[in-house]
Amino acid sequence: MRIIPAIDIIDGKCVRLSKGDYDTKKIYNESPLEVAKQFEAHGIQYLHLVDLDGAKSKHIVNHKVLEQIASKTSLTIDFGGGLKTDDDLRIAFDSGAQQITGGSIAVKDKATFLGWLGKFGSDKIILGADAMDEKVAVSGWQEESKEELIPFIEQYQSQGIAYVICTDISKDGMLEGPSFALYQKIMTQMPAIKLIASGGISTFDELPKLAEMGCEGTIIGKAIYENRISLKQLENYILSV
């Protein structure tokens, strides 16, 4: 299972929110590049980079941060937040993203999202399926859609999607543990999907459980920043698998 730390950006700084609420913003570092370099120094190869300003503005904003991290580390970066147009995607890939995550766009403009999937392929385009009570949420989690989570993922899997990042919003940033039951349900119904679990990771012991369940990756955010999981633990885990 891939270990994928998260860096969320507001005003060019590394922050974390709770349940996607911008009013809960906590700045952890003024320099996302510095944080990314710490991850790299501990053997981490992947990074989940989220442009929270972009998610709010509905277009890419923090592409310079992406460019900086991509050019000054060897991390494989997936980038999301506010990607709405072909131009946003071009900027993201030109700035060094290896993959992009589309969430709201996959709900609100399926034709554009499927166009990206057709143009760039399933290795480059990740479906962001973030949910509250198994209903897909959009617009930086400010809105709930009518889309049911499992049929939503199934529909895109039938169109060729391979990678899915699924966040249970009620767990995000709360350090209360991930949604094991939800991920088990997804893996049972769609065993071929490359599921990346996100939200609520709070202790190191949860990682082997997610791996056992068949998750392809897990995104870890606040647990790292609040020192619940050390980078040394993650380094040892990566070396052991």
Instruction: Count CA within 13 A, CB hemisphere, residue 178.
Output: 28
Choosing from 51, 53, 88, 130, the catalytic residue is 130
| Cα–Cα distance for residue pair 84/108, rounded to 1 Å | 10
Distances (CA, A) of 217 to 70, 90, 110, 194, 210: 20, 25, 25, 8, 8
| Cα–Cα distance for residue pair 58/240, rounded to 1 Å | 40
Whether 8 is catalytic is yes
Geometric angle at alpha carbon 101, from 95 and 105, rounded to 5°: 110
Q: Output the six-digit token pair for 85.
A: 């147009």
Choosing from 8, 51, 53, 78, the catalytic residue is 8
Distances (CA, A) of 132 to 144, 148, 177: 8, 10, 15
Listed residue (228, 230, 221, 217) closest to 45, CA to CA: 217
Q: Output the six-digit token pair for 189.
A: 């119904």
Whether 130 is catalytic is yes
| Cα–Cα distance for residue pair 67/37, rounded to 1 Å | 14
Residues labelled catalytic:
8, 130
